[in-house]
Homo-oligomer: A and B are copies of this chain.
Amino acid sequence: MVPGPEDALLDRYRGVRARSEALAAPLSPEDQQVQTMPDVSPTKWHLAHVTWFFETFLLQPHLPGYAPVSPAYATLFNSYYEGVGPRHARPRRGFLTRPSLADVMAYRRHVDDAMARLLAGAARERIAPLVTLGLHHEMQHQELLLMDIKHVFSCNPLHPAYDPAVRDSAAEAQPVRWVDVVGGVREIGHGGDAFAFDNEAPRHDVLLRDFRIASRLVTNGEYRAFIEDGGYERPEFWFMDGIETVRREGWDAPAYWRAVDGDWYEFTLSGLRPLDPAQPVSHVSYYEAAAYAAWAGHRLATEAEWEVAAAALPADIEAGANLLESGRLHPAPAVDAGDGAPRQMIGDLWEWTASAYANYPGFRPEAGAIGEYNGKFMTNQNVLRGGCCATPAGHIRTTYRNFYYPHQRWMFSGIRLAADA
């Protein structure tokens, strides 16, 4: 029998679910237990929470007779959905030594089995969009899992390596080119039938002036020049909130740079490595990105500019991109193909934009608790675009809007310069 689309959905379900477990496989139960700051969640919690999503939004309402493993999980593994009941306080996720990792894996099996029944049943067509949302939700958490475990390991003076294999390149950084983009009334946002999060819609017109965008990300070497020029002590380049953060936190470099005997090293998912000046600078806050741009005499792009610039990319945006599947788990130096297109827009590092995260005109969140997915975060955060080396293929679009607070930097974030025409 030829597999139908429902089988394809089940296959996708299984594929995504299997990858989460593969990503957790190198980690011990202890590694998967720990929360090193409120922003970080334990690996084990990620594995359970994405499962809770399927249980709560798919199995409970749509699979008659579904019996949950434990009623307590509804509270323990709810992240922030006020609409579905109470939740365990975020900064205390790391305290949950029980259920054990083994229990969580059993929970996954239980839900996977039920999902297989659900996807074999009559409801499969009706629920397909929600299943797809659940899979993208899990893919988001795959990236979170990696950036969170990187933070956990960064707090250990032993510098553990998630993946000991180092994939350094001997490449020199290529010079930056400026790519000119013509303004006018342009369209951005998600429009078609393919999957996208609610915050990417509706597709709508924006009005842009001509601008230029850099052909690649800012490198470690360039950023080191900013530091050596006294960048962190010169308030003229910084937002007021930024310079206060720098002073309060004692920042003098990106989050994972470490000075050892006068040389800069970088903590990576392969452990502590000498800083490679050709690699993109990563784990910078918005404040640092904006200060660097001011120091360099340029600026960051708005998210509309970024998306319009990305419209010029080849149709297969993921081809050659440094995404999770590359296995590098680290940004790579840009290689210019000479085709005039900007590099690294997809993958490598999420790129800070100058745009505060807000709804698009005409935005309507989904009804019910699912509608809490995005809209409630639309204050005090900035948009980042393009995915990173920890983003799964199939999970990134040019319309994808990621968002973080300006002071955060434990995610794979980087800097691309822009300028007025």
Q: Would you call A335 an interface residue if the criterion is a C-beta within 8 Å of the partner chain's C-beta atoms?
A: no
Expressed in whole angstroms, the Cα–Cα distance for A354 and B31 within the complex equals 42
Binds B, one of A154-162, A248-256, A341-349: A154-162
Q: Are A376 and B239 in contact (CB under 8 A)?
A: yes
Q: Are B30 and A380 in contact (CB under 8 A)?
A: no
Q: Are A101 and B30 in contact (CB under 8 A)?
A: yes
Q: Are A377 and B29 in contact (CB under 8 A)?
A: no
Which B residues are in CB contact (< 8 Å) with A36? Answer: 95
Binds B, one of A52-60, A163-171, A202-210, A315-323: A202-210
Q: Are A377 and B30 in contact (CB under 8 A)?
A: no
Which B residues are in CB contact (< 8 Å) with A380? Answer: 241, 380, 406
Shortest beta-carbon distance, A268 to chain B, in Å?
16
Chain A, range 173-222, C-beta contacts under 8 Å to B = 185, 204-207, 209
* CB nearest neighbor in B for A368: B236
Chain A, range 366-414, C-beta contacts under 8 Å to B = 372, 376-380, 406
Q: Would you call A8 an interface residue if the criterion is a C-beta within 8 Å of the partner chain's C-beta atoms?
A: no
Which of A34, A44, A354, A380 has most B Cβ within 10 Å?
A380
Which B residues are in CB contact (< 8 Å) with A236? Answer: 82-83, 372
Chain A, range 80-131, C-beta contacts under 8 Å to B = 80, 82-83, 88, 92, 94-101
In the complex, which of the residues B29, B158, B354 contacts A358, with contact meaning CB atoms closer than 8 Å? Answer: B354
| Binding site secondary structure of chain A | mixed
Q: Are A156 and B241 in contact (CB under 8 A)?
A: no
Q: Are B238 and A376 in contact (CB under 8 A)?
A: yes
Shortest beta-carbon distance, A265 to chain B, in Å?
17
Q: Would you call A333 an interface residue if the criterion is a C-beta within 8 Å of the partner chain's C-beta atoms?
A: no
Which B residues are in CB contact (< 8 Å) with A83? Answer: 235-236
Q: Would you call A47 an interface residue if the criterion is a C-beta within 8 Å of the partner chain's C-beta atoms?
A: no
Expressed in whole angstroms, the Cα–Cα distance for A341 and B313 within the complex equals 47
A217-248 vs B, CB cutoff 8 Å, 1 = contact: the mask equals 00000000000000000011011111100000
Q: Would you call A76 an interface residue if the criterion is a C-beta within 8 Å of the partner chain's C-beta atoms?
A: yes
Q: Are B82 and A158 in contact (CB under 8 A)?
A: no
Which B residues are in CB contact (< 8 Å) with A205? Answer: 207
Q: Are B157 and A76 in contact (CB under 8 A)?
A: yes
Expressed in whole angstroms, the Cα–Cα distance for A76 and B157 within the complex equals 8
Which B residues are in CB contact (< 8 Å) with A376? Answer: 235, 238-240
Expressed in whole angstroms, the Cα–Cα distance for A406 and B356 within the complex equals 13
With A72-B157, A95-B34, A95-B152 as contacts: A420 and B362 at CB distance below 8 Å = yes
Chain A, range 13-46, C-beta contacts under 8 Å to B = 28-34, 36, 44
Shortest beta-carbon distance, A131 to chain B, in Å?
25
Q: Would you call A314 an interface residue if the criterion is a C-beta within 8 Å of the partner chain's C-beta atoms?
A: no
A258-287 vs B, CB cutoff 8 Å, 1 = contact: the mask equals 000000000000000000000000000011
Q: Are B33 and A34 in contact (CB under 8 A)?
A: yes
Q: Would you call A4 an interface residue if the criterion is a C-beta within 8 Å of the partner chain's C-beta atoms?
A: no
Q: Would you call A361 an interface residue if the criterion is a C-beta within 8 Å of the partner chain's C-beta atoms?
A: yes
With A158-B98, A356-B356, A361-B209 as contacts: A239 and B379 at CB distance below 8 Å = yes
Q: Are A406 and B379 in contact (CB under 8 A)?
A: yes
Which B residues are in CB contact (< 8 Å) with A290? Answer: 379
In the complex, which of the residues B28, B88, B96, B209 contacts A97, with contact meaning CB atoms closer than 8 Å? Answer: B28
Known: A83-B235, A209-B361, A240-B376. 7 other contacts (CB 8 A): A28-B100, A29-B30, A82-B235, A97-B160, A98-B153, A362-B420, A379-B406
Residues of A within 8 A of B (CB): 28-34, 36, 44, 72, 75-76, 80, 82-83, 88, 92, 94-101, 152-153, 155-158, 160, 185, 204-207, 209, 235-236, 238-243, 286-287, 290, 354-356, 358, 361-362, 372, 376-380, 406, 420
Q: Which 7 residue pairs across A and B have the least CB separation, nearest first?
A: A356-B356, A82-B235, A207-B207, A95-B155, A30-B97, A31-B97, A30-B33
A selection of 7 A-B contacts at a CB cut-off of 8 Å is: A28-B98, A29-B29, A30-B33, A95-B156, A236-B372, A286-B379, A380-B406
